[in-house]
Structures are given as structure tokens and as C-alpha cells.
A and B are shown apart, each in its own frame.
Chain A
Amino acid sequence: MKLVRNILFIFLITQFACKKPYDVPAININYSYLVLEGNIEIGINKVSIIHLSRTQTLKDTAISTPETQATVMIESNNGASYLLNETSDGEYTSSPLQLNNVQEYRLKVITTNADQYVSAFVKGKIAPEIDSVTWKQDIDLKFFVHTHDPNNNTRFYKWEFDETAQHDAPIESRLGVKDGLIFYRDSSTQVYHCWATTRSNTIAVASTKALSADVVSYQQIHKVFQNDPRLDVRYSINVRQYAISDEAYQYWQILQKSTQQTGSIFDPQPSQVSGNVTCVNHPEKIVIGFISAGSYTEKRIFINNSELTNWVVSPPGEECTVRFTSSQNPNNYLIFNYEDTSYAPQYFVTGGGIAMYKISCLDCTRAGGTSSKPDFWK
């Protein structure tokens, strides 16, 4: 019986414990291919921003490896070239340029290891105006874009968007502390209202090639799941619309599917992404990125929490209970040196003393974002 047991055990081990890491050299090589992202902006006094980075191994935990100290320039097919300056690691910004949609432009990059990359020459495409951005809530909140090109000339669209969400601190305080002294907050120093802006991390593209008219309607570009705290107070989405080429459309469509999800039966098949950039001195090298030229149009909308149905406002992250302290310094009641530095004053108690809350209950910046109201916020 013992033998039988052992044999069974072996069988079970083999059947259920035979998963081992698959570590092939091909996976561990750091290919370090160049990744380009950005747009050559067409128009009067437009600034183009290009981001350069490198691919990483599957085991690299860093979000991105920026490519620094490269020489980046926009070249025109009439011979003109415009240098971009590295404004932060891997981010290259042009000075305000007047590029037009008559000339063709390309991006040229020379990296520190003397590799030279060029994108294909592309003609700038002028995006038509966005007709409207609308939203609809079934359970989750969906955003749609509507546009059209009266000349039936655009056909391929790409959208990016910024989301800005207002989030308020659980408790409003008119008092602040600076250099150990309490001061009265005004609209420029308030920390009750905060705004956090995030860039889109999804790719939204559409084609009207199959349609008789160049009309996009009810194109979903974004979805926010029910009860997302970003809609606790007031939320705004700013949609930028680009007109792109057929090739760019294909590129973004494949990239759209190339997420990092993998492993389940519902997962997509492997995808191959390339783009319109090649390495001049090593043509076989993989380069990722598609550099388009054009101008964009944009549209912003706002949504208040009160406009939504069944959108439960999330409770504060921690309990906010009041605590009192007597004014420590009778000479200067503005001096604040409470021993627990995680507390801040909320108001002066009539007859002396200060009511306090944890800073995280009073200062919305602790939950991210900025307390200075964006210009566009209405």
C-alpha cells in the first residue's frame, strides 16, 4: 500500500506541481529598443513635445526608461530643421514653431550611442472641430465624442483626453500653519478643494472609411466605473481630437490591443507593433512609435456628482475626529506647536483653545492633486 501511495504521490506531484518559471535568454536580454511618442504640431506658435524612452526587460519594475541627451529635431522636406530641447528626462520640446500643412515633416533623433533614427515624412493633418462630447450613465459612466468633416477628408481620428477631478477634504479649515504660526487661508492658499489631472491611458481611434459621410457619432472614448471617487464632487474631461493617416490608424489599433494583460483564456493573441520610424544605421532594429503631424481641436465638458444616479460618495480614508488643545502661548495665540505634528488647527474655540483634525482630514493635497484651481475650472 505504501508503494501505491508513493506512486500516486508521484503522479499527483507531476500532475499538479510541474509549473516552473520559463526563463529563456530571449526574455532576459535587454533589447533596449527606442520608443518614440509625440506629435509634430502644425499651426501658429505651436510647441511640439516628443518623449523618448527605451524598452525594458519583462523583469524591470521601473515604469519607463527615458532616453536622455539625444539630439532631436523636426525636419521639413524643404530642408529646414528645428531643434528640440530636453526639458526633462526623455522629454524634448520645441520652441514655438510655425509649421504648415503644405510641407512634409519628419522627426530625426540621434542618440548618444550615435544611432540615427528618422520617421517617415508626413503631411500635417488639420483636425476638424469636435461637435460635442457627451456622456451617458447606465451603471458605469461612458463618454462619447461626435464630430464630422464637411469635406469628407479626415476619415481617421484619434482622441486623447485629460481628466480633471475635484476632490474635497473631509473637513474644511480656514486656518493654516506656516513657520509655526497660524494664518488665515484665502482662495489662493485654500486646501479644501483639490484638482487632480490625469492623462488618458487608453487609445481611442476610429475610422469612417466605410461610411458614405465623414461623420463620427457616439464614438465611445472613455468609461468610468460606477462609484469611482473621481466623480465624488465635480469632474471634467478635455478631449483632444487628431486627424491621422490610415497607417497611423493601423498602428494605434494594434497598440490598443497590446496591453500588459496576459495569461487567461480571454486574452488577446500576441501582437506585433512597429511604426513609421526606422533606424538609419541599423535598419533591422525594431523601433516603436508612430510620429504624425497635425493640429488638434479640443472640447471640455463638466459633470457634477448630483447629475449622476446612484453614485455613492466614498467615505474619507480615515476617521476624522476633533481634538482640542488650549492655546499654549498666551502672548501669541497664533503660535501652534502641538506635539502631534499630524494634527492641524481647524478653528479657534470661543473662550480659548484650538479645535484640531488630522492634516489628512483638512488638506486635500494629501490625497493627490493640487489645491490651486485650474484656469479652465468653472
Chain B
Amino acid sequence: MVVLLSLNSYAQTKEKLTLKGYHEVSAKQFIDDIALKFECKIYFEIKEIDSLNISLKEGTYSLSEVLQMTIKAIGLQFAMDGFGNVFISKKFQLQTELAAHYFDKQMDSSYADRNISLPVLSKSEKGQLNVSIEQKLFEVGNKASMNDKSETVLAGYVRDYKNGEAISGATVYVDNSNVKIITDQFGYYTLRLPRGRHTLHVSSMGMKDTKRELQLYSEGKLSIEMNEYIASLKAVTVSTERKSNLRGTQMGLDKVSIKSIKQVPSVLGESDVLRVVLTLPGVTSVGEASTGFNVRGGAADQNLILLNDATIYNPSHLFGFFSAFNADVVKSVELYKSAIPEKYGGRLSSVLEVSTRDGNSKKLSGSGGIGLLTSRLTLEGPINNDKTSFIVSGRTTYSNWILNQIPDESYKNSKASFYDMNLQITHQFNAKNSLYVTGYLSHDDFRLNKDTTFQYGNKNLIIKWKHIVNNRFFSVLSAGTDNYGYNISSTQVPLNAFKLSFNISQSHFKYDFNYNPSNKHSINFGLNAVHYKLDPGTFEPNSQVSLVKYDKVQKEQALESAFYFGDNIKVNNDLTLSLGLRYSVFNYLGAHLQYQYAPGLPKQENTIIDSVHYGAGKNIKTYHGPEFRFSMRYSLKEDASLKFSFNSLRQYIHTLSNTTAISPTDIWKLSDPNIAPQQGYQASMGYYKNLMGNKIELSFEVYYKWMQHYLDYKSGATLIMNKHIETELINTNGEAYGAEFMIKKTVGNLNGWLSYTYSRTFLKMNDPIAQESINHGEKYPASYDKPHNINLIGNYQFSHRLSLSLNGVYSTGRPITLPIAVFYQAGAQRVLYSDRNQFRIPDYIRADVSVNLEGNHKIKKLAHSSWSMGIYNVFARQNPYSVYFIQENGLVKGYQLSIFATAIPFITYNFKF
């Protein structure tokens, strides 16, 4: 029997309501509608009505009149009790005098539906999911196959009860079995279970754990809705995933929920996704406000940063002061640093996957924040019906306006502004087909010193179609375009006014399939292609009188395609293997004028022996190769496990970064006949243990990594507007190793984590024809080699409304090549530099505190609000952002630029409606 809709008491049952007409609608749909309109509970046996259709003329009726004209008319009986319950039966009318609890008992064993189950709701819970749903028995499938004991498949979505949003990364597992699955980015899960009685547990970060009692007859669907864990709002982060670090096969995966992101004290109260990522073990940054981060001794360009599968080339605002991801729309952040799934490729070090939320599919709502320098606003809700929802969010600064209010003239010359916008539309055509559209736009406009203006922005659009073939098989088809560009301009000296621009755009396509033939195997395969188009540099005059000559580095384009296949194999309860293979092919394409260098000679302008022009779309050079992904987990005991992984990766696009200037400028460069793709291999091992009943998680991972064809620069290389950039590059081999230790307390009033990372990265020149030898051919530290890193994130919950957070960071300063002397030779004074990266800038030390004050938690409140205030960089330490040398009056002088050189108090008001 099904309990169909709910709500309210019997108040409405005696009233007359005006109804629109119904024509041949299914009985179930009709009952559904009536129950809603009259706010009553209607109980019925689905089998008795599922083939029946009902028609009703438009008119004003009482509930009993409606039932009389419809239910009775199709030969069914109905009974109404005095509490707004209606019982529909086939053979005889039910006696409504029966005690309610008697009836409930009856229901427990017959509460079933072929394909759908709806929660029982009661008004007393004020919109919260009724807890009793956890006690109800859900019968899934066709009872006819009751005696079959073979395995069958259960699938469905896990959603947020409040707004219908999909919950990705939720853990679904079954008692008395090791079957466990994580919902995908759409909140979808597929489980293979033996038929029979099960208890299904669902947990997800920031959500209240829930469970479903389940009687599984045959293949079927069960969608589960979860409640937000109100008590832990913006406080406890990962408590519900307590066991997952032991159970997952994935190693080197860090997952951060938006709640933990929001509790970390941030610059000026702006929640910052990347800043939290930087607190994870194995992740370091080259500087305070650097755009990039380094994962396990990899370069910043070796991270694939994805926003719903769209590649974000520059994930930061104002050169890294803020991350480009608006925390209001971010659902979760996942960082893969060792076992990178085969579906990802193209970068050596890591994949950072940022997923945004689906819009609230139940009601229109919004949230926002007002801070000293930035404000943000998010709107979300259903469009027309609950099948389509949207979320749109924007963020901007008004610092330009503020700068203009300051009477000092020099401030008026400065500007710092940015904005970003996110749009996500989710449409569900039916149970099997869903469409997701994500758009992202960001723009930055910043004048660092008086004369030079920097502008940059990302533009991304991606469309995804998820098609569920059956419970065991589904596919996701996606296509999109990503664009990143920057320009640097100066007009201070009109005669030298210039504008330098760079642009990269890519179109991508991916077809991803998931197949779960049995609980022992979970297969993922697919193909993807990326078409790159680069505009490596245009240098043009920027005033009427400018003497700058127009110059342009020729465009380049390439196609990177790959197919992949992976299988997650559960050998037994203790051992799980994951095997993956990815084969990637890279074609460097015309139109391009390709220089050829004399073989065996250093690549220099004067060793160019020929230049060949290739027509548009013509294949100039092909690189291809396999990539292997392997990982395994072995459970040692109930509370400990051991993991091992090996990965090989290839990267066809490289960043060349000039870090010696005040503000680094990066150029992306594709592999071409002269520049081989980077290749990386990583082996890692980890040990995980939970203590005190999973309250404390310990993890220890070690890794060793080697890279080939990593690019470094020749002495005196110039990177900007260089038409034969290959003449300035040298091949190096890289080697990185390290250990990561993390202790995490996930529950209780005091929670947080402490991580320590030891990581080293060395490069060694491997370029027999380059002739010059960097550091005498010895290995030298990479420019992002920072051996010691300590991160502390602590949070103390005084009450449900008041919490205090502390954030501490220490890391070794990054290596730098210093000018150490000047000398006179060949008629001019020249600078002598130290060996490459032989010195280090000062260590980085920072601590921040913040206090979060929540408004009260009354559900019915019109708008929920919170205050967040605190101090960034409490000790006012002047951590260097960049160290650079300029010539002043004939002398070389060094400067250190600190962005946040003092303690910065902040206050932000956040609201939600």
C-alpha cells in the first residue's frame, strides 16, 4: 500500500475546493493531486489502481464528492476517518474506527511501490523530514520474484530534502555487507545487492546520516532525501564520512565540503575554496598571493582545475588574493593527488574538481554576503516546475569606488576590481535523462603600481547530458568551451604605451560511461577530446603617439584526444583493486610556420636550418602514449587500512612563467615538434587509522615521483613575445618525494585538522645539446621546492550559534636565484647570479582567527543571517609575495613586495532567504 501525500490535518477535507478538470489521468496521479489539494493522506494499494484512469469535470467539490465521483465510479471503495485520512480499497470499505497505530503496523509490511517511494511527511516536523521514514520498510521491485535469491540492482538519487539538490559524494552502504558506493556528481548511486531485507545507510558531509529499511524484490529505484545537519551548520565538517577514509579505494583524495571552507578564516571574510585546499597535506603555494598551487612537488601548471568539468586556467582573483570560485555556489571540492582516475588526464600532478550546487528545485531562495570590499548574491529556484532549477550567483568588489573616495591622489591612480558570475541550470527530462548547463565568467582589472594595468578573465560554458540506460549502466555526454586571456597595458609614458595580450581557448568533448555488472566490478570508460587554440602574444601600441611596433607571435592549435578504461575490482572484503588505462594522442596542427633546427646542435636562432609552413589543420607532429593508473586498498583491521597506488600521466601543455618580475606573467605553450610532452610517474603508499571510535583520523602517506621533459629556462631567457621560445628552453628531469601526515578530529566541540608535509622537488638538466649546464649539471631545487609545511585548522564550537576558528600556516620560503654581484666585462657592467635556486626567500608564517555568529535557527524565519568577523594575519608578519630586483640610478636594488603586510580585520554579513 502506498501512502500518498500528506500534509496537514483534516481541516480541508470538509471544505469545497474548485478543481480544474481531469481527463483520463492515471489514478495515482489523480490521487496524488487530490491529496495535495485537500491536504489529506490517502492510502491505497498501488496494484489495485495502477491500470486505472480517472476523469473529472471542472467544478467545486468537497473531498467526499470528488471521491464519490471518481473512486466509487471506477469500482473502488473509500473510507474517511476524522483525522483527514482516506483509505481506498478494492473489495470492501475499511473501518475507519481502527486505531491509527494498528494501521501503521499494517502498512509497514506493505508499503511498496514499483518505482518510486515518497516520504511520509507530517506537519509537526515543520518541513523537516519525518524521522519515522527511517523505520518504514520500503519494498522495491516486483513481489512476484520474491523467492529468487540472486543479486539485483538498486539505483536512485540522493537529494537534499530541503531544496531537492543532488548530493554528490554521499556514501551509500548496506549493513552486513561490504557493499558501499559513493554517489556521483549528480547524486546518483547504483548498488548491486542480494534480494531480501537490507538496511541502507546514507551519509554525506554536513547532512544528517539517514537509513532506509529495505525489502528488495527485483531491480528498482529508491531515491533518498537527506536533511541538513542543522546543529553542525558551518561547524562540523567531515563527521559523517568518518569511516570513508578507511573504506574508499581512492588514495590521495582530499575532499572538502563547503561547510569546512566557510569556517576557515579568510581574507576579508570571503570564504575561499583554494585557500582551504592549500591547507591540505601535500599542497603548497609558491607565495601568498600566487595564482597557482603545487601538489606533491609538481609545478602549478600540472594541476587540472575543473569547475563542473570546465577547465579554469586562472583560478584566482587579484593575483590570488581571492579564489575565483564563489563559495556560495560551490558544493564540494575534491583534490586527487595520487590515484588520479583514468577519466582525467592532461596534467601531471593533480586534479582539483570543484562542483557547484544545483539550484533549489523546490522554492525560490537566495543568499548573499556583504563585506568591506566584496559583495555577493545568489538566487536559486525552480523554473516552472520542479524538473528545472537554476542557480545564478554573482560577486563583485567596490574597491574602485572606495579608492576614489580617498583624498590621496596616489590612490586614485590605483584600481582593483573583479567580478565573477556562475550559472547552473539543471533540467530533468524524465527519470532517465537529465541536462546540466554550467556557465562561468570572471574578470579582473588591477593596477598593481601606478602605471601598469593587468586584466584577465575566464569564460566557460559546458553542457552535460546524463542518460541512464538502466540501473547498471549510465552515460554522461558533455561538451563545452573554455577561454582564458589576459592583457597587460601601460599608458604612463605615451611614447612607450603598449598593450600585451595573451589568449587560450579550448573546445572539449567527453563521453563517459559507467557500468556496474556486479558488485565486484565497477567499470568506467569513455573518450574525450580537447581542441586547443592559443594566441601566444600580441604586442601593440596603446596611444596615438606610441612608438611601439605591432608584433604578434603566431597562433598555435592542437588536438588532444584520449580514450580510457578502468575497472574497480573488489577481490574480497579486504582487498580492492582499481586498474585503469588511458591512451592519449596529441596532434600539433597548422596553420603554423615551423622552424627546424640543425640536428645535434643547440636550438638557437642561428641553428635554424629551415622553416616549413603548414596549412590550416595540417598535422605537424603527433605524440601518443599510454597512461597507467593502478591503486589498491587492503583493510588491516576494522579501523586501519593500507593503500598503494601507481600512476603515469602525460601533459601536452606547459606554462612558462617569468617569476623574476614584480608580478609574474605566465604563458601557456603547447607541445610541438621541438617541445616534447611532459611525462610523470608517481608511486605512493598510505596508512590510515581511526582512533577513539572513528573520532580521530590519522593518515600517513609517502610518495615518490619522477618527471621527464619538464621545462626550465636557459640562462638569460626572455619569454615574453618570443617567436622561437624553444630556443630558450631546456629539458630537465624532475624528482619529487615526500611524506604527509595528518591528524583530524572530526566531531565534538573542538574539531579541525593538523597536517605536516615534507616535500622536496629537484630538477636536473637533461639536455645534451643545450651546451650550457644549469648548476654544473647537478640537481637543483625547483622554484617551488618548499620542504616543510605545517597547517592547522581548528574550530571550537561554543554553542550552536557561536564558533571560533583558528588557522595557522608555516612553510619554508621558496627558492630563488639571487643576483649576488656585479662585474665589468666586454664594455659593460653585468650582473652575476647565484647558482639556480640556491637561496630562499623568508619563511612564510601566518595565523588568522575568526568568529562566526549564526542567527537563530528557527526554520520559519524569513531570512537567516550570520556574521563573520576576525583578523587575517594576526601577527602582522610581512610575508613576501614577490622578491624582485630593479635597477635604480645604476644600482641593482632588491625589493620585497608583501601583499598583506599587516593584520587585517574583517567583518562580513551573510544572509540566506
Question: Which A residues contact B (CB, under 8 angstroms)?
Answer: 4, 7-16, 18-24, 26-27, 29-31, 33, 35, 37, 53-61, 63-64, 199-203, 206-211, 246, 250, 252-273, 286, 288-289
Taken together as a complex, chains A and B put the C-alpha atoms of A64 and B714 apart, in Å, by: 27
The stretch of B71-79, B254-262, B523-531, B716-724 in contact with A is B716-724
The contact of B715 among A11, A202, A207, A257, by CB within 8 Å, is: A257
Q: Do the beta carbons of A35 and B824 come within 8 Å of each other?
A: yes
Give B819's nearest chain A residue, CB to CB: A58
A63 to B828, CA, bound (A): 9
- B818 lies within 8 A of A27 (CB): yes
* A62 (CB) vs chain B CBs: closest residue: B824
Given contacts A24-B839, A56-B822, A210-B598, contact A267 B718 (CB under 8 A): yes
A-B interface, 7 closest residue pairs, ranked by CB to CB distance from nearest: A257-B716, A263-B886, A201-B827, A271-B715, A210-B598, A22-B894, A55-B821
Residues of B within 8 A of A257 (CB): 715-718
Given contacts A55-B832, A272-B715, 12 further A-B contacts (CB under 8 A): A14-B898, A14-B902, A15-B416, A16-B410, A21-B895, A55-B821, A56-B822, A58-B892, A59-B891, A210-B598, A257-B718, A258-B833
Q: For the complex, is B878 an interface residue (Cβ under 8 Å from A)?
A: yes
Contact of A260 among B500, B721, B822 (CB under 8 A): B822
Quick check: A20 and B824 within 8 Å, CB to CB? no
Provide the bound-state CA to CA distance between A256 and B903, in Å: 45
Partner of B836, one of A7, A61, A209, A272: A272
Q: Return chain B residues, CB-CB under 8 Å to A11.
A: 268, 372-373, 904
CB contact between B606 and one of A13, A20, A27, A206 (< 8 Å): that residue: A206
Contact A268 B827 (CB under 8 A): no
Q: Are B894 and A263 in contact (CB under 8 A)?
A: no
Complex CA gap A271/B828 in Å reads 16
Set of chain B residues within 8 Å of A59, measured between Cβ atoms: 891
Complex-state Cα separation, A64 to B828, whole angstroms: 10
Contact B893 A18 (CB under 8 A): no
List CB contacts (< 8 Å) of B803-853 with chain A.
817-836, 839
When distances are taken between beta carbons in the complex, the residues of chain A under 8 Å from B509 are none
B345 on interface, CB distance cutoff 8 Å:
no
Q: B897 in the interface, Cβ–Cβ < 8 Å?
A: yes
- 0 or 1 for each of B717-739: is its CB under 8 Å from A? (1 = yes): 11111000000100000000000
In the complex, the answer to whether B900 meets A263 with C-beta atoms within 8 Å is no
> Once the chains are docked, how many angstroms separate the CA of A14 from the CA of B321?
12
Whether B606 and A210, one on each chain, are in contact in the complex, defined by CB atoms closer than 8 angstroms, is yes
Looking across the interface, which residue of chain B has its beta carbon closest to that of A208? B606
Q: Is the CB of B663 within 8 A of A265?
A: yes
* B residues near A203, Cβ cutoff 8 Å: 826
Residue with the greatest number of chain A CB neighbours at <10 A, chosen from B721, B775, B825, B900: B825
Judge whether A210 and B609 touch: CB under 8 Å.
yes
Q: Is the interface of B mostly helix, strand, loop or mixed?
A: mixed
Cα distance, A259 to B601, chains bound together (Å): 25
Cβ of B233 < 8 Å from any Cβ of A? no
Q: Indicate which residue in A12, A30, A199, A270 contacts B833 across the interface (CB closer than 8 Å).
A: A270
A199 to B824, CA, bound (A): 13
The one of B488, B728, B819 in contact with A265, judged by C-beta atoms closer than 8 angstroms, is: B488
Q: Which residue of B lies closest to A4 (CB)?
A: B372
Question: Could you give, for residues 661-691 of chain B, a 1 whenever the CB lies within 8 Å of some chain A CB and a 0 otherwise?
Answer: 1110100000000000000000000000000
Residue picked from A26, A203, A289, most chain B C-beta under 10 Å: A26
Can you give 8 A-B contacts (C-beta < 8 A)? Answer: A10-B904, A18-B878, A58-B892, A252-B826, A260-B822, A265-B500, A271-B833, A288-B825
Q: Which of B260-303 contact A (CB under 8 A)?
A: 268
- A4 CA / B372 CA spacing, docked (Å): 8
CA distance A203 to B716 in the complex (A): 14
With the chains together, A10 CA to B718 CA distance in Å? 37
Distance of B895 from chain A, by nearest CB (Å):
5
Asked whether A258 and B894 contact (CB < 8 A) given A26-B834, A263-B661, the answer is no
Q: In the complex, are the beta carbons of B411 and A258 less than 8 A apart? A: no
> Could you tell me the dominant secondary structure of chain A's interface residues?
loop
User: Complex: how many Å from CA A199 to CA B834?
Assistant: 29
Q: Which residue of A lies closest to B658 (CB)?
A: A265
The answer, yes or no, to whether B320 is at the interface (CB within 8 Å) is no
CA of A356 to CA of B690, assembled, Å = 101
- Nearest CB in chain A to that of B609: its residue: A210
- Whether A15 contacts B899 in the complex (CB less than 8 A), given A4-B372, A261-B887, comes out as yes
Known: A207-B606, A260-B831. A22 touches B839 (CB 8 A): no
A21 to B904, CA, bound (A): 22
Contacts of A63 in B (CB 8 A): 824, 829
Bound Cα distance A262, B658 (Å): 12
Chain B residue numbers with a CB within 8 Å of A255 are: 825-826, 830
8 Å CB contact of B665 from A9, A20, A256, A265: A265
Question: In the complex the two chains form, is B887's CB within 8 Å of A260's CB?
Answer: yes
Q: Which of A64, A208, A259, A268 contacts B717 (CB 8 A)?
A: A268
With both chains docked as a complex, state the minimum distance between the C-beta of A207 and any C-beta of chain B, in angstroms: 5
In the complex, A24 Cα to B772 Cα: how many Å? 28
Q: Is B604 an interface position by the 8 A CB rule?
A: yes
Give residues of chain B (680-717) contacting chain A, Cβ–Cβ below 8 Å. Answer: 713-717
Task: List, in ascending order, chain A residues with CB within 8 A of B715's CB.
Answer: 254, 257-258, 269-273
Cβ–Cβ contact A210 & B601, under 8 A: yes
Considering residues A8, A267, A269, which has the most beta carbons from chain B within 10 angstroms of its beta carbon? A269
Q: Within 8 Å of chain A (Cβ to Cβ): is B477?
A: no
Residues in B neighbouring A18, C-beta threshold 8 A = 878, 897-902
Q: Hey, which chain A residues are within 8 Å of B403, CB to CB?
A: 12
Q: Which of B824, B836, B887 has the most CB of A within 10 A?
A: B824
Q: Which residue of A lies closest to B663 (CB)?
A: A265
- Among residues of B, the one whose C-beta sits closest to the C-beta of A29 is B820
Task: Chain B residues near A259: list those with CB within 8 A.
Answer: 828, 830-831
Which residues of B lie under 8 Å from residue A271 when comparing CB positions?
714-716, 833
- Give the residue of B402, B821, B831, B892 whose beta carbon is less than 8 angstroms from that of A33: B821
Q: Which residue of A lies closest to B830 (CB)?
A: A258
> Chain A: which residue is nearest B832 at the CB level?
A55
Q: From residue A309, how far is it (CB to closest CB) to chain B in Å?
A: 18
Residue of B with least CB distance to A288: B823
Contact between B830 and A26, CB atoms less than 8 A apart: no
Q: Is B660 an interface residue (CB 8 A)?
A: yes
CB <8 Å contact, B824 and A7: no
Residues of A within 8 A of B821 (CB): 30-31, 33, 55-58
Selected from B406, B891, B894, B900, the residue in CB contact (under 8 A) with A23 is B894
> Does B609 contact A26, Cβ atoms closer than 8 Å?
no
What's the Cα separation between A272 and B165 when bound, in Å? Answer: 58
Given known pairs A12-B403, A250-B772, A263-B887, the reply for A269 and B824 (CB within 8 Å) is no
Q: Would you call A262 and B607 a contact (CB within 8 A)?
A: no
B819 contacts A14, C-beta separation under 8 Å: no
B111 to chain A, nearest CB (A): 59
Determine how close the nearest CB of chain A comes to the CB of B586; give it in whole angstroms: 27
Q: Which residue of B lies closest to A90 (CB)?
A: B824
Considering the chains assembled together, what is the distance between the CA atoms of A258 and B772 in angstroms?
A: 14
Provide the bound-state CA to CA distance between A202 and B410, in Å: 39
In the complex the two chains form, what is the Cα distance from A236 to B162 in whole Å?
Answer: 87
Q: How far is the CB of B206 from chain A (nearest CB, A)?
A: 32
Chain B contacts of A10 at CB under 8 A?
A: 902-905
Min CB gap B885→A, angstroms? 5
Nearest A-chain residue to B774, judged by Cβ = A272
Residue B414 at the A interface, CB < 8 A? yes
Asked whether B662 lies within 8 Å of A250 as measured between CB atoms, the reply is no
B residues in contact with A24, CB < 8 Å: 818, 839, 894
Cα-based distance from A261 to B824 in the complex (angstroms): 14
| Residue among A16, A63, A207, A250 facing the most chain B CB atoms (10 A cut-off) | A16
Q: Tell whether B585 is near chain A: CB-to-CB under 8 Å.
A: no
CB-nearest residue of chain B relative to A207?
B606
- B896 part of interface (Cβ distance < 8 Å): yes
Q: In the complex the two chains form, is B826's CB within 8 Å of A265's CB?
A: no
CA distance A199 to B827 in the complex (A): 7
Is B887 in contact with A273, judged by CB distance below 8 angstroms?
no
In the bound complex, CA of A263 to CA of B820 (Å): 15
User: Chain A residues near B21 (CB, 8 Å)?
Assistant: none
Q: Who on chain A is nearest to B881 by CB? A: A18
